[in-house]
């Protein structure tokens, strides 16, 4: 990478581009500030990288769609082959950033760094974290050692791998954590430390980007739930389902009985947990019924991985389990 890297910024909106109009009001709207504003601020602060902005969307990430995911994927994919681009930054709302990050991590090669960045406070809030997170993302994307680590998230001075990133708090600038692997590095606008070597150097895209996203519902466990909690989620075309179970992917007997019936009919059932942190490992019941254990992925990310697998024609239990087991 040259001394002044060329970084493509793909903007999608979120709080990082949001304003409240007043530091004392909560009436904020995401996706109000154009990416040129951040590029201008970074330039004024003396950032050496050449930043080029492109707006993919200007929205809260709760409204993200497969079409926007596709536009992001295709823009990243094209940039991978563009000698004028050294790295990519995606500005994104924090609510679904982990899902976008994992999807891109699964479907893109690792030869150039891809960094997702967001903010928890709007751009005009007192103590906004937006510009700091953005400068941190530029620092990471500019680093010669950043490629080969897959898609990364940069929030609150931490670099987190897409596979591990989770929004774990509803408010506060330290809302993200990595699980099961915590940060893979720390970053400030003036420093960068990696905790270890790139582990995925030169890795090709592992899966094709889905031509269509299969219907994969998430069944959220609660005490006293009955069969209809599963049945109301099913469509004729449902070939995968994620359980957001109690504890280590647990559920009432009546639910497991229903899920076992579905698995016997060829529906891929993944056991994840509604608990924020902790592994869901394979249990004897998984072998008995043909279930898959989500391991370190929470329900929303387990759903993304299962959609990608199904769209790539992978539905055999051991192959699906292997994908959940592989970082």
Question: Which of 120, 141, 219, 221 contacts ligand GLU by CB under 6 A?
Answer: 120
Least distance from C-beta 19 to ligand GLU, angstroms?
A: 12
Question: What is the total residue count of the chain?
Answer: 327
Least distance from C-beta 114 to ligand GLU, angstroms?
A: 18
> Is 173 an annotated catalytic residue?
no
CB atoms within 10 A of CB 313: 9
- Please tell me whether residue 15 binds ligand GLU under the rule CB under 6 A: yes
- Residue number of the CB closest to ligand GLU reads 93
What is the largest distance, in Å, between two alpha-carbon atoms of the chain? 62
Alpha carbons 40 and 38: distance in angstroms, whole number: 5
- Interacting stretch for ligand GLU, rule CB under 6 A, among 60-68, 76-84, 268-276, 298-306? 60-68
Alpha carbons 295 and 64: distance in angstroms, whole number: 26
- Please tell me whether residue 251 binds ligand GLU under the rule CB under 6 A: no
What tokens were used for 319? Answer: 């192959």
∠ CA 242-244-250, nearest 5°, is: 105
- Interacting stretch for ligand GLU, rule CB under 6 A, among 58-66, 145-153, 249-257, 276-284? 58-66
Nearer to ligand GLU, 16 or 221 (CB): 16
- Torsion from C-alpha of 197, 199, 201, 207, nearest 10 degrees: -160
Place of tokens 């004897």: 284
Place of tokens 């590095």: 185
Question: Which of 60, 109, 178, 240 contacts ligand GLU by CB under 6 A?
Answer: 60
- Please tell me whether residue 210 binds ligand GLU under the rule CB under 6 A: no
Question: Which of 53, 113, 118, 249 contacts ligand GLU by CB under 6 A?
Answer: 118
Question: Which of 6, 19, 32, 61 contacts ligand GLU by CB under 6 A?
Answer: 61
Contact assessment for residue 130 and residue 122, using Cβ atoms and an 8 Å cutoff: yes
Question: Which of 4, 21, 62, 264 contacts ligand GLU by CB under 6 A?
Answer: 62
- Please tell me whether residue 94 binds ligand GLU under the rule CB under 6 A: yes
Alpha carbons 181 and 35: distance in angstroms, whole number: 31
Nearer to ligand GLU, 60 or 245 (CB): 60
Least distance from C-beta 59 to ligand GLU, angstroms?
A: 7
Selected catalytic residue, list 15, 91, 94, 110: 15
DSSP 280: B
Nearer to ligand GLU, 69 or 291 (CB): 69
- Give the dihedral sign, CA 296/300/305/306: positive
Per DSSP, the three-state class of 176 is strand
- Interacting stretch for ligand GLU, rule CB under 6 A, among 57-65, 128-136, 282-290, 293-301? 57-65
- Give the dihedral sign, CA 64/65/69/74: negative
Which are the catalytic amino acids? Answer: 15
**Residues of this chain that bind ligand GLU (CB under 6 A):** 14-15, 30, 60-62, 93-95, 118, 120
């Amino acid at each position: 990478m040259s001394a002044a890297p060329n970084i493509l910024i793909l903007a999608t909106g979120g709080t990082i581009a949001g304003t409240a109009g007043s530091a004392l009001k909560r009436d904020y709207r995401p996706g109000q500030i154009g990416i040129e504003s951040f590029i201008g601020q970074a330039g004024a602060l003396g950032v050496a990288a050449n930043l080029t902005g492109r707006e993919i969307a200007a929205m809260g990430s709760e409204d993200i769609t497969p079409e926007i995911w596709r536009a992001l994927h295709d823009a990243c994919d094209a940039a991978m082959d563009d000698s004028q681009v050294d790295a990519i930054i995606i500005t994104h709302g924090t609510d679904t950033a982990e899902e976008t990050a994992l999807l891109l991590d699964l479907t893109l090669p690792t030869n150039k760094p891809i960094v997702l960045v967001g903010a928890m406070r709007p751009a005009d809030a007192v103590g906004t974290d937006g510009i700091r997170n953005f400068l941190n993302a530029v620092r990471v994307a500019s680093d010669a050692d950043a490629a080969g680590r897959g898609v990364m998230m940069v929030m609150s001075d931490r670099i987190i791998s897409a596979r591990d990133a989770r929004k774990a708090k509803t408010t506060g600038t330290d809302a993200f954590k990595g699980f099961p692997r915590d940060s893979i590095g720390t970053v400030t606008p003036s420093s960068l430390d990696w905790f270890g070597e790139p582990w995925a150097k030169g890795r090709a895209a592992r899966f094709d980007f889905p031509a269509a996203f299969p219907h994969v519902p998430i069944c959220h466990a609660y005490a006293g739930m009955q069969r209809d909690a599963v049945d109301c989620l099913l469509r004729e075309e449902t070939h995968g389902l994620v359980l957001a179970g109690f504890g280590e992917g647990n559920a009432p007997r009546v639910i497991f009985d229903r899920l076992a019936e579905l698995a016997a009919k060829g529906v891929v059932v993944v056991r994840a947990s509604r608990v924020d942190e902790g592994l869901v490992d394979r249990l004897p019941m998984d072998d008995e019924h043909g279930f898959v254990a989500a391991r370190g992925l929470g329900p929303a990310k387990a759903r993304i991985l299962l959609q990608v697998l199904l769209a790539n024609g992978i539905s055999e239990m051991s192959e699906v389990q292997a994908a959940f087991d592989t970082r």
